[in-house]
Structure 1
Amino acid sequence: MESKSVKAILFDLDNTLIDTRGAGGVAIQKTSELLKTKLGLDDTTICSICDKFKRKLLQECFDSSSGQSLDEVRVRHWEESIIETVGSCSSPSLADECYYVWKNSRLEVLCLSPEVRTLLKQLRSRYKLLLLTNGETQTQREKVESVACEEFFDAIVIGGEHAEQKPCLSIFTLCFNMLEVKAQDCVMVGDSLDTDIQGGFNAGVQATVWIKNEDSAMLDGSVTPDYIIPTVLDLPDVLAQLS
């Protein structure tokens, strides 16, 4: 597992170290059950409400200077999704209930598996490790706290706390400076071709490692990763090749 040339590893968080996609599915299922109990609607209508919420989440551009908290914005996502689907929101508190069931259910499911924890502990004894995750500050900090991963990293960088996020060079330069290493000393590991792999390429890291999930595929025009593995647990094999 040891590599003389690699000094540091930068890890993405979502769907790289933790199964955010799976946790999101559980959270939507729990919220669907709540909606069905409260509104007595059929599965198709409930699914439509949840799909609208997921679209709003993907399109979200949160502005902390707006005077609204992220929680308030996402409660509003649920309220709008219900109104757009059934014409009204029967109870003023229903959107709040939906949001907090969704949010808390997702955080409860998120975790670092014992295998991933062991891997990070082993790697930490040989390399500097940094967690580099895109996303809004509150959301990502809540995930980091929920999965209790701080002990495994020399530094944690949340994209939403900086002027630019992955794949921009500036945030990678910040990471290299924090670890006191050069780009060519580092490996970037993540599941996103657009942010993790492209960002690593832009920054000039020694190697990029793409975690290719079951539903992910290479896109035309995408940057080509140096290594492709199905799970982060296979990373030691890549590091052995780089040594």
Structure 2
Amino acid sequence: MTPPPPPSDITAIDRALVPSGLRVMGAFHPTAANAPSSLTTVRTIVLIGNGGAAFWPIFTARRREEDDALDRWTRRVITPLAAAFNAEAFFPFDGPPYFPFQRWAVTANCAAPSPIGTLIHPRFGPWHAYRGALGFAQRLTISPPSAPLTTCRDCAAKPCLSACPVNAFAAEAYDDDACARHLKTDDGHDCLNEGCRARRACPVGKEHRYASAQAAFHMRAFLRTRREDAD
């Protein structure tokens, strides 16, 4: 069977993602400097993720009762899409070694690092994530990168730095131990059920903030990962 042709432009991928609530977050042409050596045949990487919470009700309606429910649902969405566009699917949860999705997002000019390490999108702020990617053997046409993102640099108040109740972001690196300990206390219920206070303090994209159910899902997933790492 003749393989399907690649999309004429990346907007075709975006249209195909509409039923899932996911979207194309950006794209770039990989080089030896920004992609693993295993991707030498890939000439275009298209990042797929959620901007805001649009995908959440779709996921909750279609999720299955299984471990790693979001990862498995993501795979069920993106894998057939890759086949339809004659591309290879990549996921941030496959590994080790893991694909450098955060670095790819910066390379694609989707987002820029914030003072607390979270990537900030110019529209969605901290309320976005990268769920997968499509790799094409062809060099697809992509929009040229816009001007460098300056959202955090232009934020004088930087409320994210003072919002954490346990100062998990006070040092050079994120203190995930302090964060996890806090989430297990009565005082940590706000962060556990509503999401990270430092993240919520960001003024960018507030209208795209995750609802309580989605925030709690991700915070509990973080705690489960911590327990699995300790085992």
Higher helix residue share:
1
For normalisation by structure 1, the TM-score amounts to 0.29
Larger Rg: 1
Larger RCO: 1 or 2 (CA < 8 Å, sep 6+): 1
